[in-house]
Structure 1
Amino acid sequence: MTSTTFRIGGDLGVRRLGFGAMHLPTEPGPARANSLAVARRAVELGVTLIDTAHMYGGGANEELLAEALHPYPEEMLVTTKVGIARSSPEEEWRLDGRPAVLRDQVEQALRRLRVERIELLQLHRIDPGTPLADQLGTLRELRDEGKIGRIGLSEVTVDELDRARRIVDIASVQNRYNLLDREHEPVLTACEAAGIAFLPWRPVAWGKSGAEADIAAVAKSLDATPTQVALAWLLGHSPAVLPIPGTARIAHLEENLAADALRLAPEHRDLLDRLAVPGAPPVS
């Protein structure tokens, strides 16, 4: 039976099916009130892993989660990301892994999330303009100071992951990955072998119409939705996968979180496994 939990860094237990907060509106008014309700409903439904980032509103998303959930349940992990910055709201976001910027964004996240330590802090992107040793060295220093518990990466190759692991322990990787987009399968394989959590962003995305039809057919046979099928496939594909689907609607949230109770039959999984494999023969 597929495990519904994973220990990030070998010790931090979370429910594998989490929640991505990126899509939650943060501006004042009814939209913000709805966002607060969605975040609280996620916790009510048993979510223990919520993903945010400095880039999501320049910290506004972090503040929203703190307003909704602080004081956090003991088992709750709110992970955030740093390393993308802009000088003003009018400027474009850019990669910025300079030590002073990373340290400042971590300090801001601690304040906005109302915590003394971020249990999982991820580097949003590797900045090619700053030595990797300087970027990860800064995060290691923050970890040694007790402000970070574990360090993760996002959008990295196998080679970049290997290089990073020679500098500091890596607890998680957050790459784009879903049923129809498996470009980073080698990274997932490396994570699974090393016991590193793999958090696919954009965990549900549809491709060609033929693939959509196959997914819809599986969903119909299981009295489920295509989204639930895609998430169930992820959970069964590797024990290291921790999907973080995002939504701003409670109904969609509830649909997503029901996916970890969905069981795909072997013939369903065989069909789905072939969807993103060029030239794969049809299932007989």
Structure 2
Amino acid sequence: MTQNIDELREVSPTIDLKDLGTVHRLGFGAMRIVGDGVWGEPASRGTAVDVVRRAVELGVDFIDTADSYGPNISEEIIAEALHPYPDGVRIATKVGFTRTGPNQWIPVGRPEYLRQQTELSLRKLKVDSLDLLQLHRIDPKVDADEQFAVLRDLQQEGKVKALGLSEVSVDQLKAAGKFFTVSTVQNRYNLTDRTSEEVLDYATEQGIGFIPWAPISAGELARPGGPLAEAAERLNASTSQVALAWLLRRSPVMMPIPGTGSIAHLEDNMGAGGVSLDDATYAELENAR
């Protein structure tokens, strides 16, 4: 793209999140600023700090992390990079997983564990109240109502402003809604994986922010000669930018959070805010699988 990357704040669309306020829909996911397997320190902590700061310089005001990224390290790097946080920047985190090693994720939804991890996130992020707390997974071994109830209690106590869920069904969203206002839902969704279409449609109807994880995954669509690659060439954009632009147009509640540990990749991703898909290109990508 030829557009000045520093002007993207003006063109990136926004959303008004329940209990939280207005943020730009193109955010930053902080899972990749830690070590391989989402485990341990990154190769360069200084680079990770620089990436987070550059994201905010580019207009990002919604950063998504989790206590399990590292674990702990992602939250610590965000605080090191940004605290005291610039006005309007919201940090979303998640609880509900424990880690036993690289690429190992074990859901733990016991109320005392969720409360403990929330308290630790407050400490690591150096805040008195979390902007957005999401249940990373509903633990099937613990009654879901107990998990929803402790989130409600944490919000009522002022330790959390807004609440969300991750990898849930419409029925689970409705069940959680009996305990608290659901601000966001974070499910896997991209050009080649649309299994959460029903959840996205429900979120759109209800005005719930939909955070698609793995938003850029496009597989063969991005290969030379594929529809994504051809669209990128026509638009003078990268395939990642077009994939993100398609998501942004797909629904007004869509909030992609592409993650990276590289400033170059970050700047390329943020360029998606300035990519406008014509109707024909959008329809072509909509029909590509």
Give the unaligned 5+ runs of structure 1: 277-284
Contact 1:211 1:275 in 2 (8 A): no
Separation in structure 2 between the aligned mates of residue 155 and residue 175 of structure 1, nearest angstrom: 5
2:193 maps to: 181
Could you tell which deviates more after superposition, 51-60 or 211-220? 211-220
CA displacement 1:103-123 (0-9 Å, x = unmatched): 000000000000000011000
CA displacement 1:190-227 (0-9 Å, x = unmatched): 00111100000000102335877110000000111110
Contact 2:78 2:125 in 1 (8 A): yes
Structure 1 residues 91, 218: CA separation in 2 closer, same or farther (over 3 Å shift)? closer
Alignment RMSD: 1.9
Contact 1:95 1:127 in 2 (8 A): yes
The one of 123, 132, 140 aligned to 1:111: 123
CA displacement 1:207-250 (0-9 Å, x = unmatched): 33587711000000011111000000000110000000001111
Separation in structure 2 between the aligned mates of residue 207 and residue 256 of structure 1, nearest angstrom: 17
Q: Which of structure 1's runs of 4+ aligned residues deviate more than 4 A?
A: 26-30, 88-92, 209-212
Separation in structure 1 between the aligned mates of residue 222 and residue 95 of structure 2, nearest angstrom: 38
Q: What SS is found at the alignment partner of 2:51?
A: helix
1:273 maps to: 286
Contact 1:118 1:149 in 2 (8 A): yes
Q: What SS is found at the alignment partner of 2:215?
A: coil
Give the unaligned 5+ runs of structure 2: 1-10
Residues 53-202 of structure 1 aligned to structure 2 (within 5 Å): 53-86=66-99, 92-202=104-214
Q: Percent identity?
A: 46
Q: TM-score of the superposition, structure 2-length normalised? A: 0.90
How far the C-alpha of 1:139 sits from its partner, in A, is: 0.7
The residue identity in structure 2 corresponding to 1:194 is: Q
Separation in structure 2 between the aligned mates of residue 188 and residue 91 of structure 1, nearest angstrom: 27
Separation in structure 1 between the aligned mates of residue 287 and residue 267 of structure 2, nearest angstrom: 28
The residue identity in structure 1 corresponding to 2:47 is: N
Q: TM-score of the superposition, structure 1-length normalised? A: 0.92
Separation in structure 2 between the aligned mates of residue 10 and residue 63 of structure 1, nearest angstrom: 25
Q: What SS is found at the alignment partner of 2:161?
A: strand
The one of 36, 47, 69 aligned to 2:49: 36
Contact 1:20 1:244 in 2 (8 A): yes
Contact 2:34 2:73 in 1 (8 A): no
How far the C-alpha of 1:169 sits from its partner, in A, is: 1.3
- Please tell me whether residue 14 in structure 1 is matched to residue 23 in structure 2: yes
CA displacement 1:112-146 (0-9 Å, x = unmatched): 00000001100000001111111010011110110
Could you tell which deviates more after superposition, 208-217 or 60-69? 208-217
Separation in structure 2 between the aligned mates of residue 243 and residue 90 of structure 1, nearest angstrom: 25
How far the C-alpha of 1:94 sits from its partner, in A, is: 1.1
The residue identity in structure 1 corresponding to 2:106 is: R
1:280 maps to: none
How far the C-alpha of 1:93 sits from its partner, in A, is: 3.2
Could you tell which deviates more after superposition, 7-16 or 42-51? 7-16
How far the C-alpha of 1:172 sits from its partner, in A, is: 0.4
Question: How many equivalent pairs are there?
Answer: 274
